[in-house]
Structure 1
Amino acid sequence: MKPNKILLLLSFIICFSCSEDQDDNPQPNLIIKLNFDANQIRLDNLGQPATIPNGNAAQTPLIKRMSANYIEFAPTATTLLGQGEIIYEGPETNAGGDMAINFQQSIFAGDDDVFLSIPLSQVETGTYEWVRVSLAYQEGDISIYNGNDDFTGTLASFVGYNNYITEFDLNGSTIIVNDDKLQGFWAFEALGFTTQGQAPEGVTTVPNPLFNTSPVPQGSCVVTGQFLNAFTITGNENQDVTVTLSFSINNSFEWTEVNNDGKYEPSAGEQVVDMGLRGLVPSVSN
């Protein structure tokens, strides 16, 4: 074999060997998954078990997808918002006048889907007891009652502090907004017909068991949850670490009753008052 061919063959073998070595030692990632649990305990703003108020009714929606705008690991119960390890901040814009979540560039994930994956090397080593998640959007099916019939429709609820929306598709129908919408804006589609509205300010439930030691701003939708066991990143991990964020959707869609039948009947004047998720339980697996 000629010398130049031998050199070429050796170069190929060396490069192939390096490639194999790199594949054999992949860098571990932190993977964030979402889970929507209909049976998880239903909490209030203080993280305490909550019942449905007199005069209201509620149902458990079938959530199809969700978006968050902020995820932070907090070492202790006294770690203030923003002083923990921030692992994700979503896109924002002032195109609508005020700073707002940029809905068009948001990340979405469904039940048991991966929402985020980043190298573990980007996460500060340490032990974390809590996680904070600023929710932005949720979409799913709810039941409505109209004309003596039950229907299933699709609800889009914007629970982020402020949301800049150009337009969005809701079960095949295009909703055009081109403006900022504050927390509580919603749109609904059923049988090809759409409607939209705005829940009253300050009524969206945002469970925070650390209300006394680490409060969050009103309207921020930063839901707080505690790891069952403290979550430690050593910096020596050699495999992926998965954090599953389990959100309670237990009777999370709530309205004022006009007809006391436990059915959501907008044609009777029943108004949406709460679309907030009802708790967060994070867990870790390798």
Structure 2
Amino acid sequence: MKYIKLSILLICGLVMSCSEDNDDNLRLDPTEPNLVIKLKFDPNQERLGNLGQPVSVVTGNAAQSPSINRMSANYIEFAQMETTALGTGEIIFEGDETTAGGALAIDFQNAVFAGDNETFLTIPLSEIATGNYEWVRVSLAYQEGNIDLLVNGQDYTGTLASFVGYNSYITSFDLNGSTFDINNNKVQGFWAFESQEITTQGQAPAGATTVPNPLFNSSPIPQGSCIVTGEFENGLAITGNETQDITVTLSFSINNSFEWTEVNADGKYEPEAGEQVVDMGLRGLIPMVSN
């Protein structure tokens, strides 16, 4: 588990393919204890900025908490201490990457997905180095969920696909029956949207995606990455003598995580009025351990 891909070290940074579950990642030996990684999306969890401190919506912007249907990550690492540099902890997952679009990028077509309270990854505990871990780092790749918008005075709900990874190679994807053919690399902040009134795509400004890192001073992450950092409340101990599964639930804050510039100051997203998406980053990470 100690190999590290060059992209993670140098540039590691908001939709669809794969099956609706992750059966291929589930345990192969039911007699062996496993580490189970689950995802959770919490609209009431604290809203953090890049430095891991509570922040409000920027003046002149508005935001809402989306309903996340599923998410993909490309990298998960346990870190022993706050000074453990990126890439030197225990790397438990790395997703597929490709150069099919030119520069190295996340291979979206081979990505792993999970929804709220669903299992993202299951691996034998015997494959994880023993030790005490205080932090977890997760490189996010993709989010898909529902948002509200206002079109010609009517309220609608649509589906937003947001690619937040450092770079993603995408052939095509489907949103509610609408196919988006891309066949190219897309950098962090590429998004697509589908509703009964609008089907569109766009690009958030470079560097606008929020990536909370409470360890900014001791363990910085590369610019343009989407590696969200969270602290275990009581740590995570791997002894090598476990007889039961350990479940780590990665709880992500979606508290006003979809943000746009306001043209009409009404708190509603109105793309036809020229309101632009500026941020789709998750707003914090709390890892929780259970047996």
Relative to the length of structure 1, the TM-score reads: 0.91
Between the two proteins, what is the percent identity of the paired residues? 71
What is the rounded CA distance, in whole Å, between the counterparts of 2:164 and 2:171 in structure 1?
16
Which protein is bigger by CA-based radius of gyration? 1
What is the rounded CA distance, in whole Å, between the counterparts of 2:189 and 2:219 in structure 1?
24
Distance 1:267 1:125, change over 3 A: same
| Structure 2 equivalent of residue 10 of structure 1 | none
| Structure 1 equivalent of residue 124 of structure 2 | 119
Equivalent residue in structure 1 for 2:218, among 200, 213, 220: 213
CA contact (8 A) 1:173 1:192 kept: no
Question: What secondary structure sits across from 1:121 in the alignment?
Answer: helix
Distance 1:24 1:176, change over 3 A: closer
| Residue identity in the other structure for 2:42 | D
| Structure 2 equivalent of residue 143 of structure 1 | 148
What is the rounded CA distance, in whole Å, between the counterparts of 2:214 and 2:73 in structure 1?
19
| Structure 2 equivalent of residue 235 of structure 1 | 240
| Structure 2 equivalent of residue 13 of structure 1 | none
Unaligned runs of 5+ in 2: 1-27
What is the rounded CA distance, in whole Å, between the counterparts of 2:81 and 2:277 in structure 1?
35
Alpha-carbon shift at residue 264 of structure 1 (Å): 0.3
1:172 and 2:172 are equivalent in the alignment = no
1:262 and 2:267 are equivalent in the alignment = yes
Runs of 4+ in 1 over 3 A off after TM superposition: none
| Structure 1 equivalent of residue 65 of structure 2 | 60
| Structure 2 equivalent of residue 74 of structure 1 | 79
Alpha-carbon shift at residue 24 of structure 1 (Å): 11
What is the rounded CA distance, in whole Å, between the counterparts of 1:188 and 1:252 in structure 2?
16
What do residues 68-103 of structure 1 show as CA deviations (whole Å, max 9, x unaligned)? 000000000000000000000000000000000000
Question: What secondary structure sits across from 2:113 in the alignment?
Answer: coil
What is the rounded CA distance, in whole Å, between the counterparts of 1:92 and 1:262 in structure 2?
38
What is the rounded CA distance, in whole Å, between the counterparts of 1:73 and 1:25 in structure 2?
24
Distance 1:25 1:178, change over 3 A: closer
Distance 1:52 1:25, change over 3 A: closer
| Structure 2 equivalent of residue 132 of structure 1 | 137
Alpha-carbon shift at residue 139 of structure 1 (Å): 0.2
RMSD: 1.2
Alpha-carbon shift at residue 171 of structure 1 (Å): 1.4
Question: What secondary structure sits across from 1:202 in the alignment?
Answer: coil
Alpha-carbon shift at residue 193 of structure 1 (Å): 4.0
Question: What secondary structure sits across from 1:204 in the alignment?
Answer: coil
What is the rounded CA distance, in whole Å, between the counterparts of 2:248 and 2:85 in structure 1?
21
Equivalent residue in structure 2 for 1:34, among 30, 39, 49: 39
What is the rounded CA distance, in whole Å, between the counterparts of 1:276 and 1:213 in structure 2?
22
1:103 and 2:105 are equivalent in the alignment = no
Alpha-carbon shift at residue 192 of structure 1 (Å): 6.6
Relative to the length of structure 2, the TM-score reads: 0.89
Distance 1:160 1:25, change over 3 A: closer
Count of residue pairs brought into register by the alignment: 264
1:247 and 2:252 are equivalent in the alignment = yes
Alpha-carbon shift at residue 262 of structure 1 (Å): 0.2
Distance 1:29 1:273, change over 3 A: same
1:157 and 2:157 are equivalent in the alignment = no
Alpha-carbon shift at residue 172 of structure 1 (Å): 1.5
| Residue identity in the other structure for 1:115 | F
